[in-house]
Chains A and B, each alone.
Chain A
Amino acid sequence: NAGVTQTPKFQVLKTGQSMTLQCAQDMNHNSMYWYRQDPGMGLRLIYYSASEGTTDKGEVPNGYNVSRLNKREFSLRLESAAPSQTSVYFCASSGQMQQPQHFGDGTRLSIL
């Protein structure tokens, strides 16, 4: 039972490069989320998808785009990476918006 799977686990990019972070869940959940966590801080919501076919901005959406590819998959894209986007990125899912969220183990992204 994998739960929420994020790929890759680690990545180093140069400023200006683009990249897509992948997330998949096998729990048949309707809602999915992307967060970032900077050192010593709590998580901040980037984008979320309440259900398949919908996406909405969270607290810190600038510089990111998302795609809800199907019910299982929710990807996060950095079109032109900046050093300020160096962070740990977490994907999560929940049955419905108000239900407990299940998190992946994160992608550690460094941008030089």
Chain B
Amino acid sequence: DAKTTQPNSMESNEEEPVHLPCNHSTISGTDYIHWYRQLPSQGPEYVIHGLTSNVNNRMASLAIAEDRKSSTLILHRATLRDAAVYYCILRDHYGGSQGNLIFGKGTKLSVKP
């Protein structure tokens, strides 16, 4: 299984940008980089995904290194509601069951007012 490495926890101040790093040195050519987050007492929520190019949506931006061995999820202005566990997951879009999500422990983001 392709694996990712994330810091256990990070802190941010409200209304400041947050950069959540993820290392995935063994990524294969068909692996997409997916990010989900889990708010307290809720199920995970899809955030964003990408393959090679940087991606933006209404929730966040995803910056992918040129060699694809690392990526960064960017929250442009953190709010208290962004306090959650963030999971970086590699997902093979062409491998059938190998495309199943494999969750690690993620990064617990705390946001201070």
A residues at B contact (CB < 8 Å): 4, 33, 35, 40-45, 48, 56, 58-59, 90, 92, 97-98, 100-106
Please determine whether B100 and A42 come into contact, CB atoms closer than 8 angstroms: no
B96 CB contact (under 8 Å) in A43, A59, A97 = A97
Give, as a whole number of angstroms, the nearest-CB distance from A8 to chain B.
15
Give, as a whole number of angstroms, the nearest-CB distance from A97 to chain B.
5
Known: A43-B101, A106-B43. 16 other contacts (CB 8 A): A42-B103, A42-B106, A45-B102, A48-B97, A56-B97, A58-B100, A59-B102, A92-B43, A97-B99, A98-B94, A100-B46, A101-B44, A101-B101, A102-B46, A103-B44, A104-B43
List B contacts of A106 (CB < 8 A).
41-43
B49 CB contact (under 8 Å) in A35, A100, A105 = A100
Residues of B within 8 A of A (CB-CB), count: 23
List A contacts of B104 (CB < 8 A).
42
Give, as a whole number of angstroms, the nearest-CB distance from A63 to chain B.
19
Q: Give residues 59-113 of B contacting A (CB, 8 Å).
A: 87, 91, 93-94, 96-97, 99-106
